[in-house]
């Protein structure tokens, strides 16, 4: 009962509920696991990457600045 109360309290703008970023990260992990089994094989990995990046961004483990730097460094590297 406390879980449900805190879950609905997280929809308001006070600190009585759970963190919105953590709820979004949890939802993205659940959706990622579901999506990997329902999509065709050739697009599963790309969808999984997208949901995992969302989860990492929401948890603050990876920042948008780090992703941009990684993407730009990849273009600069000689082949």
16-53, pLDDT tens digit by residue?
777 777 787 788 888 888 877 888 888 888 888 888 88
- The answer to which of 23-27, 58-62, 64-68, 74-78 has the lowest mean pLDDT is 74-78
Q: Which has more confidence, 39 or 79? A: 39
Q: Is the pTM here over 0.85, yes or no?
A: no
Q: Give residue 70's pLDDT band: very low, low, confident or very high (50, 70, 90).
A: confident
Sequential DSSP letters for 35-49: HHHHS-HHHHHHHHH
Domain extents in the chain: 18-66
Phi, psi torsion values for 64, nearest 5 degrees: -65, -35
What are the distances in angstroms from CA 22 to CA 9, 12, 26, 44, 51? 14, 15, 6, 24, 14
31-41, pLDDT tens digit by residue?
888 877 888 88
């Amino acid at each position: 009962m406390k879980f449900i109360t805190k879950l609905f309290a997280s929809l308001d703008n006070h600190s009585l509920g759970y963190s919105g970023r953590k709820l979004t990260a949890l939802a993205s992990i659940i959706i990622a696991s579901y999506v990997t089994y329902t999509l065709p094989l050739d697009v599963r990995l790309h969808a999984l990457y997208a949901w995992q990046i969302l989860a990492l961004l929401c948890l603050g483990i990876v920042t948008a600045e780090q992703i941009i730097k990684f993407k730009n460094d990849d273009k600069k590297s000689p082949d």
